[in-house]
């Protein structure tokens, strides 16, 4: 199978497995390794110490698989056509959950499809080859390889953007010893737009194309184990798990298609759990509500910390509104 034929076969299989986009990058060092090193040294990763480990693996796919020649990158939409209904119609204070965590755990869904794709590829390819699937847990900078593979460009909010798909999609990758013709990167189409930078409540973007993760609401509510600093907590609003603000305001998401994956449909208590309910969760409640969900990334203590924060912000907002009226 020639590299060009392999590319066509891989993309056909990716489509048959339900992926919304597929591209291929050469298995070579990423172009922004120096930027990543400087970013880490500047403390932009906050308390995410794991990002400092395995630097060589993160920046060169060949260190993940001996003899690797290609990185297949896929995208799977999770955007919902409209906001899901809440459990009740009451006006009780509610928190918000980032839309990527509304349904089943994307790690499981994307990995299942990737493994099916690789199995079918083995059936069609003459001779053995090595392949490792990666879905946000292996030390691989999937975003960098996605940009190299033409899935999208890295936008000013540091997320992968595409003028057709938008940015509400998951990435998965296969590092393989197969030689597959690589795709061309896409042109950056952010232009002069700075909507994402201006909309960030915590000013997590010190400059375009650069994020200070230690100020990001997603980091604060999901990755930070300690109490959230008061100055940042007040700006987190009602978010209790993740944040969608910089994606919601992006023009490229206005007409982006919705996900076709039923397992990403919202399930209760998403997308807006009642804050008092979360504060009263027992260990069993927490396990029941987060079972099979990406929300399991945050502990019960973190959820309740976030709920207290969101409730305080709600009460602070109510007092301010009353003073104005």
Q: What pLDDT is recorded for position 69? A: 98
Domains of the chain (ranges, CATH numbers): 3-81+103-176 (3.40.109), 195-324 (no CATH)
Cis-peptide into 271, omega within 30 deg = yes
State the pairing for strand pair 169-176/131-134: antiparallel
317 pLDDT more than 90: no
Q: Tell me the C-alpha distance between 61 and 173, whole Å.
A: 10
Catalytic residue check, 136:
yes
Give the E-state strand segments of 79-227 in sequence order: 96-97, 131-134, 153-154, 160-161, 169-176
Region of 221 please: left (phi>0), alpha (psi -120 to 50) or beta: alpha
Q: What pLDDT is recorded for position 282? A: 97
Q: What is the pLDDT of residues 153-164, one digit of tens each?
A: 999 999 999 999
Whether the Cβ atoms of residue 45 and residue 52 lie closer than 8 Å to each other? yes
167 pLDDT more than 80: yes
Q: For the residues 290-299, what does the mean pLDDT come to?
A: 96
Q: What pLDDT is recorded for position 84? A: 47
63 pLDDT more than 90: yes
Whether the Cβ atoms of residue 61 and residue 71 lie closer than 8 Å to each other? yes
Q: Which two tokens stand for residue 158?
A: 């540091």
285 Cα distance to chain centroid? 25
Task: Indicate the pLDDT class of residue 86, thresholds 50, 70 and 90.
Answer: very low
State the pairing for strand pair 239-241/96-97: parallel
Q: What pLDDT is recorded for position 304? A: 98
Q: What pLDDT is recorded for position 35? A: 87
Q: Which of 20, 105, 126, 136 is catalytic?
A: 136
227 pLDDT more than 50: yes
Q: For the residues 69-84, what does the mean pLDDT come to?
A: 87
Q: What pLDDT is recorded for position 174? A: 98
Q: In this structure, what DSSP letter does residue 184 have?
A: P
Task: Indicate the pLDDT class of residue 80, thresholds 50, 70 and 90.
Answer: confident
Q: In this structure, what DSSP letter does residue 49 have?
A: G
Query: Higher-confidence residue: 40 or 182?
Result: 182
Mean pLDDT of the chain: 93
Q: What pLDDT is recorded for position 55? A: 87
Q: Tell me the C-alpha distance between 271 and 257, whole Å.
A: 19
For residue 52, the SS3 value is helix
**Cβ neighbours, 10 Å, residue 325:** 5
Q: What is the pLDDT of residues 195-214, one digit of tens each?
A: 999 999 999 999 999 999 99
Q: For the residues 53-73, what does the mean pLDDT come to?
A: 93
Q: What pLDDT is recorded for position 85? A: 45
Whether the Cβ atoms of residue 196 and residue 249 lie closer than 8 Å to each other? yes
**Cβ neighbours, 10 Å, residue 283:** 8
Query: Higher-confidence residue: 321 or 160?
Result: 160
Q: What pLDDT is recorded for position 145? A: 97
Q: Which two tokens stand for residue 131?
A: 């392949």
Whether the Cβ atoms of residue 293 and residue 104 lie closer than 8 Å to each other? yes
Taken in order 50, 52, 53, 59, the sign of the CA dihedral is positive
Task: Indicate the pLDDT class of residue 87, thresholds 50, 70 and 90.
Answer: very low
Q: What is the pLDDT of residues 96-119, one digit of tens each?
A: 999 999 999 999 999 999 999 999
**Cβ neighbours, 10 Å, residue 249:** 17
Percent of the chain residues past pLDDT 70, beyond the cut? 94
Whether the Cβ atoms of residue 216 and residue 204 lie closer than 8 Å to each other? yes
Q: What pLDDT is recorded for position 82? A: 58
Q: For the residues 252-274, what does the mean pLDDT come to?
A: 92
Query: Higher-confidence residue: 36 or 20?
Result: 20
Helix (H) or strand (E) run with residue 26 in it: strand 21-26
Task: Indicate the pLDDT class of residue 88, thresholds 50, 70 and 90.
Answer: very low
Q: For the residues 161-184, what does the mean pLDDT come to?
A: 97
Q: For 169, list phi and psi in degrees, rounded to 5.
A: -145, 155
């Amino acid at each position: 199978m020639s590299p060009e034929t392999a590319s066509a076969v891989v993309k056909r299989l990716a489509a048959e497995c339900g992926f919304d986009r597929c591209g291929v990058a050469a298995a070579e060092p990423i172009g922004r390794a120096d930027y990543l090193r400087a970013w880490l040294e500047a403390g932009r990763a906050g308390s995410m110490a794991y990002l400092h480990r395995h630097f060589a693996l993160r920046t060169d796919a060949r260190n993940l698989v001996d003899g690797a020649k290609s990185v297949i990158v896929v995208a799977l939409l999770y955007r919902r056509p409209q906001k899901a209904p809440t459990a009740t119609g009451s006006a009780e204070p509610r928190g918000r959950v980032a839309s990527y965590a509304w349904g089943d755990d994307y790690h499981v869904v994307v990995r299942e499809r990737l493994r099916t794709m690789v199995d079918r590829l083995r059936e069609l390819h003459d001779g053995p080859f090595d392949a490792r699937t990666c879905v946000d847990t292996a030390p691989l900078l999937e975003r960098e390889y996605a940009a190299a593979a033409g899935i999208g460009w890295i936008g000013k909010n540091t997320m992968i953007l595409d003028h057709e798909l938008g940015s509400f999609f998951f990435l998965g990758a296969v590092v393989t010893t197969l030689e597959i013709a690589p795709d061309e990167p896409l042109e950056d189409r952010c232009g002069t737009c700075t909507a994402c930078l201006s909309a960030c409540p915590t000013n997590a973007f010190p400059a375009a194309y650069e994020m200070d993760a230690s100020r990001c609401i997603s980091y604060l509510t999901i990755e930070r184990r300690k109490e959230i600093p008061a100055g940042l907590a007040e700006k987190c609003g009602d978010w209790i798990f993740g944040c969608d603000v910089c994606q919601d305001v992006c023009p490229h998401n206005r007409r982006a298609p919705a996900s076709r994956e039923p397992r990403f449909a919202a399930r209760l208590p998403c997308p807006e759990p009642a804050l008092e309910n979360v504060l009263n969760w027992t260990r069993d409640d927490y396990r029941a509500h987060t079972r099979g969900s990406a929300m399991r990334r945050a502990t019960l203590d973190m959820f309740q910390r976030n709920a207290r924060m969101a409730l305080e912000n709600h009460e602070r907002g109510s007092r301010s509104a009353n003073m104005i009226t």
